Structure 1
């Protein structure tokens, strides 16, 4: 046990303001500090820290306590571990002694963190000592990194053998459960033992704001046909959507400058920091998320985004603008000279040139989007200019403060006068339409989430949950068993299969003739809407991704991709022809679209017949006219060939199954 004297020594040494500022952006208010509460979402700061009393108190949710409680809550550790963390941070020596018995959850988290720390040391030693790591050392040397950089950033090397980390951890007495929970090892397919998750890669440890290793990123060093980087999977200590690479090194400099520089790569961060540009972070190998932006907003008010000049980089930058504006940050964009990234630019021209370029060339998001549209020639085309205006208004719509939105609309109006005369009132009307669309999309997303939860929620009164056989199920809920036992329309499954197998071009084609109302099956309708949302956000929607999502997606993927019957190889030998399911994927799509529309119009006719039976007067006449129209549409689809109903796409699609998201854009979505 840690003695009371030692606890008080640690409490006296710890600066509660400094500790809290690792998680909350604080502003001085009288004799204390205030900020947005980390325990609940709020827009107006009600979280108070009083240095004199060494306590915090939120007047919104009621949470309060001392520096130990704050660390326990934010780090998910027990009291003893919180004291030891603070003692280590503030240089207070605590002798090893019997600790309090931690809870099961705390013990698991601490075990995972211990395994990750061990792995970090293991990888570092291999980088320094292992002859196999020569290629990693050569790569780092070519980038100008010496051993002091290895040590500062914890760089390492994962041996290629496949079991070295696992065996070393076993010898050190580390429980395999902790290694597996940390995603450092995976169960062997052979049924016994494990293998290392990272093999033959240069390793970048990812730290939380307090400097603990919580994950790794591994970079391939040769020309292998594999992902350039792989990252640790989500764990109990690592949520990749809320982690920013380098924030542990950069947080104090971000506070000092009130500005964070966001780059794409791990080496960009390291090189800039080695050239004394220390307020820099990267988005940890993922697309920028609201959670990551929330982290950055704790430390700074302004964000300067630097992305690659390729299409993927520019798309990511535009998406990042909206996320930053929604978080309430001031946004600037910096485009480096052609064929330069932050790493190469700073090495070639130095810190002063970088700072000067940032000062002179960094643009406000409105200026940047207009500048990009001008470079693309879009502002010279009468048909494109309204689209550019709408895109900028879509960004402005993300700003929470109404006065700020008004200022930016006025600024856009002023800037547009040199290209096209636009009334300010028209801009406000269009902004209102954009915001209404945004609210509608948010409501749709909420309904989809509610539908997903309904699908997954068990029936309380079903026999498998203790009810009796004669008790009817709740009308709003279904068990997974009930959902999966109902036969899903083959053509609806085919549409989903084609979309997740062939990527963005196929989604564009199918969506030009369909919408979610065509789907009779509730689960497939939800699946369809989820794919569309991911498409719009330019996120992955592959078979691989959905197979790893929560239920019902893995089950639905199996349902739409696996067939009970398929043509045998023997049959191919006999008839001399090999059956290819998707020899022409678009032909399959046309047939499935036609079948879906036929099914939809038949359901409509049944629905109209029921309504006509009870309607009177003008309403009955209108319904009969509608019935006639639907019959006409149904007859056309029943009697026409799919090739006559649906034109061929402008662009073909390969027969390769989609494992990555293509960058092809929908027609009209510039």
Structure 2
């Protein structure tokens, strides 16, 4: 859902950068501006400047600059959409939305999934076998209600009757991936199963998970296929129910399955999400890092669970999220462990360790009598460590871990660093692919001026333009153009097609000369803003130097 341009304009008009930033930082007046220690990099002398009159901020240390929306985005690590909404709420500005055709379709499908969920919930009340199953698993009625658990009856005619009463079409059931067509009509894919509605972060029901109630029915767990409203790589089970607890603790416990999550939630571990039984993804890490700084990985205690934990840690650390590993032998999974009570589970979570430290301690504790096995196990764990560290993009954090590994293993820093660089080279393609994860909020597009439309249309019609003129600094000169250029550079064909279609709706003609002039205008406007902020912080004796710099400033090549 896109925010209306009128709302964005009103937020930009009302949200003064000083008023907003003073909620986050202690600002000290210095002439006509305010200064503070920059929150975006480490420093001892304030280089972060806020100009209320120009309504911009800039750090002269790391170079970040922008308006109130940009600050909130960067400080809270939230999307453009969320930053606009947050500021609108602060200033009591009504938020108006624009529904695209896709969003209208989604709303219709959300209504369908809600009705199907109610059908499942009612059938759970009628199913003694399902109620007995939940009772035997220790699931309480309040938990059933909170997670809206249900039951899909074996008799598909009951669903057929229900959709007729509710005027739901078979085509709609196909769109949400619920049914399989048969000679007699259709069959619910989840028939005879306990149902777990899967919700997005806003509470919309986007898919279903089904659990067999006996050992005969296979597979044990069945999930909805991907649909227009459900992309499993972007989703975490329980994210909606756990959201406020994640924000409060800034920490998450990550488990693998539905019952693991529900059992932990029920005993009081409520900052918990589940991976839906699939490999953890970059998109899921991006979803979490908006709300948390630390993750505790609590997977099954078998070897498969340990390996999955390592892969998950690799992705989390690549996003700058601290990772602790909850190691336990007392049960096969968190669901079983929860039966030992809250205090036991909290004890295991509290004693969980940074995953690199945990693996290094395993290195030191290998006690195999067979020297070949001992060496093999040592090398396996060491390889796990190097691969995790290889995925860390922050050089300072990566070097800190290298120092720790060198200390624990007795290897020279340079040797450990070399081992990790080899892994980084081998996994470069994999890491690059992870960078280009889909962002659900990229549908929230800032408004384009006519000049910006001309530039974008020319870029789309002339793919070599950006490489020819190296205009990546447009991101600095125009936040809006930078936003769209990053979308174009992502290589997402659907995004490019949608943007091209939007621009072609307007009768816009472009030439390279016109585009270059527009970009020069943007650059000059940006320089004026930045230098006016520079001058407001300088003494008279430095004025001449800065003035001369303005005259000689050239675009970066």
Give the whole-Å Cα distance in 1 for the aligned partners of 2:129 and 2:160: 23
Distance 1:307 1:228, change over 3 A: same
Distance 1:183 1:300, change over 3 A: same
Matches within 5 A, 1:179-578: 179-188=173-182, 190=183, 193-348=185-340, 350-360=341-351, 362-373=352-363, 374-375=365-366, 377=368, 381-382=374-375, 385-417=378-410, 422-439=411-428
The answer to whether the aligner puts 1:141 opposite 2:130 as a matched pair is no
Matches within 5 A, 1:624-663: none
Report how far residue 62 of structure 1 moved. 8.4
The answer to whether the aligner puts 1:156 opposite 2:162 as a matched pair is no
Give the whole-Å Cα distance in 1 for the aligned partners of 2:136 and 2:76: 51
| Corresponding residue for residue 121 of structure 2 | 124
Q: Is the 8 A contact 2:360 2:405 kept in 1?
A: no
Distance 1:285 1:434, change over 3 A: closer
Select the residue among 105, 108, 112 that pairs with 1:111. 108
Distance 1:220 1:65, change over 3 A: closer
Q: Is the 8 A contact 1:153 1:205 kept in 2?
A: yes
Give the whole-Å Cα distance in 1 for the aligned partners of 2:397 and 2:167: 57
Q: Deviations over 1:519-556 (max 9, x none)?
A: xxxxxxxxxxxxxxxxxxxxxxxxxxxxxxxxxxxxxx
Q: Deviations over 1:103-128 (max 9, x none)?
A: 54333211211110001111001101
Q: Is the 8 A contact 2:314 2:388 kept in 1?
A: yes
Report how far residue 61 of structure 1 moved. 11
Distance 1:113 1:316, change over 3 A: same
SS at structure 1 position matched to 2:203: coil
Give the whole-Å Cα distance in 2 for the aligned partners of 1:256 and 1:276: 14
Give the whole-Å Cα distance in 1 for the aligned partners of 2:421 and 2:250: 32
Give the whole-Å Cα distance in 1 for the aligned partners of 2:353 and 2:336: 21
Give the whole-Å Cα distance in 2 for the aligned partners of 1:231 and 1:144: 23
Q: Is the 8 A contact 1:258 1:300 kept in 2?
A: yes
Give the whole-Å Cα distance in 2 for the aligned partners of 1:329 and 1:65: 21
Give the whole-Å Cα distance in 1 for the aligned partners of 2:433 and 2:250: 37
Q: Deviations over 1:209-250 (max 9, x none)?
A: 111211110000012241001001111111111100111111
Distance 1:161 1:275, change over 3 A: same
| Corresponding residue for residue 589 of structure 1 | none
Q: Deviations over 1:505-530 (max 9, x none)?
A: xxxxxxxxxxxxxxxxxxxxxxxxxx
Give the whole-Å Cα distance in 2 for the aligned partners of 1:64 and 1:261: 24
Q: Is the 8 A contact 2:327 2:348 kept in 1?
A: no
| Corresponding residue for residue 473 of structure 2 | none
Q: Is the 8 A contact 1:58 1:64 kept in 2?
A: no
Q: Is the 8 A contact 1:263 1:280 kept in 2?
A: yes
RMSD of equivalent CA atoms: 4.2
Q: Any unmatched runs of 5+ in structure 1?
A: 1-6, 17-26, 36-42, 72-79, 85-99, 447-670
Larger RCO, structure (CA 8 Å, separation 6 or more): 2
SS at structure 2 position matched to 1:298: coil
Q: Is the 8 A contact 2:261 2:272 kept in 1?
A: yes
SS at structure 1 position matched to 2:187: strand
Q: Any unmatched runs of 5+ in structure 2?
A: 1-5, 16-22, 28-38, 41-61, 436-557
Q: Is the 8 A contact 1:163 1:196 kept in 2?
A: no
Count of residue pairs brought into register by the alignment:
380
Q: Is the 8 A contact 2:151 2:193 kept in 1?
A: yes
Q: Is the 8 A contact 2:302 2:332 kept in 1?
A: no
Q: Deviations over 1:146-201 (max 9, x none)?
A: 3222211100000011242233112111233222101122322x2x7322221000
Q: Is the 8 A contact 1:57 1:63 kept in 2?
A: no
SS at structure 1 position matched to 2:120: helix
Give the whole-Å Cα distance in 2 for the aligned partners of 1:63 and 1:140: 40
Report how far residue 305 of structure 1 moved. 0.4
Give the whole-Å Cα distance in 2 for the aligned partners of 1:428 and 1:323: 20
SS at structure 2 position matched to 1:195: strand
Report how far residue 384 of structure 1 moved. 5.3
Distance 1:285 1:106, change over 3 A: same
Report how far residue 407 of structure 1 moved. 0.6
Give the whole-Å Cα distance in 1 for the aligned partners of 2:389 and 2:147: 38
Larger radius of gyration: 1
Q: Is the 8 A contact 1:260 1:302 kept in 2?
A: yes
